[in-house]
Amino acid sequence: MSAAEASERTGTRPVLVLNGPNLGRLGSREPEVYGSTTMADLTEQCVATGRTLGLDVEVRQTDDESELVHWVHEAADGRIPVVLNPAAFTHYSYALRDALAMRTAPLVEVHISNPAARETFRHTSVVAGVADGTVAGFGLTSYRLALEAIAELARAGETGAGQAGSGG
C-alpha cells in the first residue's frame, strides 16, 4: 500500500521523510557530528511529530541513488510532500536534483549537521535550488522543524495562500 493510500484511510496528510546514504548508520557513524540517536529513534521521533501535526509520516533510508530517485518520483506522482536529507547526494546528484524539480508538493531539505560549517566540499547543495527551504545544523531537531514547515506549507497550499511547490 502506498503512503497516499494509507493516509486516505486515516484522514491525515501523507509525508515522506527520505534519507540518503550512510544515515542508516546513525548512532555509530561519527557520533561527535551526528549524535548517538539511531535511525530507528529518528523514525520514531518523526512519526510522533507527524502525528501531532496531523501528518502520516513514513520514514525511508537508502544508500542507493536510484532507489531515492524512485521514491521522489513516487512522491511527485502522488503529490506527497517530502522532507529530504540527501546526505552525500546533496553535493553532486544531478539525477536527484532533476527528479526533485518535478515535484508537485512541498519539499524541505534537512541536514543534521550544518554543511556550511564543515568541509568546503559540503558547502554546495544541488538540491537547495528546487526546495522550498532548508533546515540544517540543529541535530535531529532539524527534522521536527522541517515537518512543521511541511505542515504549514501543506495548509497554505490547501487554502490557496501559498506557493508550495514553487521550487524557490
Catalytic residues: 34, 111
Tally of residues, the chain: 168
Q: SS3 string of the chain?
A: CCHHHHHHHHCCEEEEEEECCCHHHCCCCCHHHHCCCCHHHHHHHHHHHHHHHCEEEEEEECCCHHHHHHHHHHHHHHCCCEEEECHHHHHCCHHHHHHHCCCCCCEEEEECCCHHHCCHHHCCCCCHHHCCEEEECCCCHHHHHHHHHHHHHHHHHHHCCCCCCCCC
Q: Which of 81, 99, 92, 101 is nearest to 157 (CA)?
A: 81
